[in-house]
Amino acid sequence: MDFFERASYPADLPPGQAVMVPRRPMNMMGTPVAIDLLLTRSATAAVRVQHLIAFPTGFEFEVVAHFRPTADTWDPMHGLAGLRGKPGDEYGVLSDEHLRFGVEFADGRKATNVGPPICSVAVGTEGPMLHPGGGGAGESMAQTTYWAWPLPPPGPLAFVCEWPKYGVRLTRREIDSELLLAAATQAIELWPEEPEGGVH
């Protein structure tokens, strides 16, 4: 099965309706994890994972795409922060310029930036789920921040990507989830959390 096969909503949730998941805690200081991972590179592109921060309910990190400018340049607005192909494409259909990215837990659960927003391939809402945040882009680099919920179970945590436009085949790199789990226990609550809904 293709890792980036189109994700699906939980069985009891109609298409087009968002899943409510715990948001990044705004009342806490997360703990940085010393990881700067060169996920993959080709002759014309590289993808890295950096600035990973652990919280009791999940983790935040930044995906950075470096690309060599060519006559046929890449538009990061169509494929880095969870967008699905170019405007006018059928929803969920990927173009080659789409930077496909995902995470996979040790128990086989995964989440990707492919398919409906904030969606888990696992049945139910146990996750994992990815929520894209802020980002930016320049002539040859683009980055976006992701919030991943929940924390992974013990074992390997895989970061996976594929980028056909730049010759990047399906690539995965693993880290030990214990790095995140240990860091999450060191997060500092600044003040009590205000009652509020989750991320849409």
Token pair in block for residue 79: 């494929």
Residue entry with tokens 């994700």: 7
Of 48, 76, 75, the C-alpha closest to 64 is 48
> How far apart are the C-alpha atoms of 106 and 158, rounded to whole Å?
8
The fold adopted by the segment(s) 36-186 is Immunoglobulin-like (2.60.40)
**Strands, E, within the chain: which ranges?**
28-29, 31-33, 37-41, 45-55, 58-67, 100-104, 110-112, 129-137, 141-149, 156-163, 168-176, 188-189
Of 172, 133, 126, 178, the C-alpha closest to 149 is 126
Tens place of pLDDT per residue across the chain (200 aa): 488 865 444 445 555 555 566 789 999 999 999 999 999 999 989 999 999 999 999 999 999 999 887 756 666 655 565 544 444 445 455 678 888 899 999 999 998 887 554 444 444 567 788 888 888 877 788 899 999 999 999 999 999 999 888 889 999 999 999 999 999 999 999 999 876 544 43
